[in-house]
Amino acid sequence: MSQIKGKQSTEFERDVYILGAASIVGQKEGEGPLGENFDKIEQDPMFGQKSWEEAESEMQIKAAKLVLEKCGRKAEDIRMIFAGDLLAQSIASCFGLVDLNRPLYGLYGACSTIGEALSLGAMAVAGGYANYVLSMTSSHFASVEKEFRFPLAYGNQRPPSSSWTVTGSGACIVSSEKSNVKISGITSGKIVDYGLKDSQNMGGCMAPAAADTIAQNLADFERKPEDYDRIITGDLGSIGKEILLELMKKKGYDIAGNYLDCGMLIFDPNTQDTNAGGSGCGCAATVLASTLLPKLESGEWKRILFVPTGALMSKVSFYEGKSVPGIAQGVILEHAGKE
């Protein structure tokens, strides 16, 4: 059951919980500020496989099995999977999760995909169509470089506005079973296109979409920014952050006091040479699983607005000179506390 709120939001009347989460990252992520929070840090970038794409698939299945283990569940308990990645035809998810032998909905929302996966998973549980849903995403630095940018051996120079794709996979089990964290509502994002074409400045391309979703969430739920302990975007980075704060002020909201960005949390730009920050489907997903959810579980935070952001582009659209539209999916997460 649910209640339509405003223009783009939904409030769940049937309780929906995140039963547990798991995060697996690569060596560079493990060396960052959040290193001690991740469940597993893999030193081998190939994950024991023969290609970057196979490595990402292996990372996904490991994250899926790990969250099942942590929650004491089997694959057979999962009614459906919502998963996606950045590779063409979502091959990391399709090949990675095939052995679970569970119904799969493949998603693409670029780096916002974990927000999409959680939103759809929550709707499925709230609607009574599933008791356990697996919502997850992944990205791999090398597979994304191969897909969207340059071969690693090319050694191209990165502009300061560029981001560093996170090697990581984050997985959550969304459930009707009570836990310390619940998904109380969502704000579905719109495609927002300001006509920007610089794919090396994805933060700038995505910031307008983040501002649109955050402002709509506040309007739909009749809330102020301070009603959230934190408002957290996916991977706008240092440049996108400044654009977002300015856009929000123009909309009448000052969120600077309680705003965070996953892309700015996962790396140390002073020591790790990651330019504007982290990006990729695995960025918001692993930060959520490793760092944000524990603060909600403990009650340190009571309510956050989690807003993963995505730059909707492909190799084809880039070479045809198209702009880079953005999208942002809003997910309201609250401390529930077990009875």
Structural domain including 279 reads 181-335
The CATH number linked to 249 is 3.40.47.40
Q: Are 328 and 112 in contact (CB under 8 A)?
A: yes
Q: Are residues 214 and 171 in the same domain?
A: no
Q: Are residues 134 and 238 in the same domain?
A: no
Out of 175, 192, 224, pick the residue that ends a domain. Answer: 175
pLDDT in tens, 43-77: 999 999 999 999 999 999 999 999 999 999 999 99
pLDDT in tens, 255-292: 999 999 999 999 998 899 888 789 999 999 999 999 99
pLDDT in tens, 153-198: 545 566 565 778 999 999 999 999 999 999 999 999 999 999 888 7
Q: Are 133 and 78 in contact (CB under 8 A)?
A: yes
Q: Are residues 158 and 185 in the same domain?
A: no
Number of domains in the chain: 2
Q: Are residues 74 and 142 in the same domain?
A: yes
Percent of the chain scoring above 70 in pLDDT: 95
More confident residue, 80 or 90: 80
Q: Are residues 18 and 146 in the same domain?
A: yes
Out of 147, 175, 203, pick the residue that ends a domain. Answer: 175
Q: Is the pLDDT score of 116 beyond 90? A: yes
Angle, helix 52-71 to helix 141-148, in steps of 10 degrees: 140
> Residue 3's beta-bridge partner residues?
11
pTM for this prediction: 0.95
DSSP string of 235-278?
A: S-HHHHHHHHHHHHHHTT---GGGEEEHHHHSS-HHHH--TT-E
Model confidence band, residue 231 (pLDDT cutoffs 50, 70, 90): very high
Q: Are residues 122 and 214 in the same domain?
A: no
Query: Among 129, 152, 136, which residue's Cα sits nearest to residue 24?
Result: 136
Q: Are residues 90 and 14 in the same domain?
A: yes
Which pLDDT score is estimated for 151?
A: 57
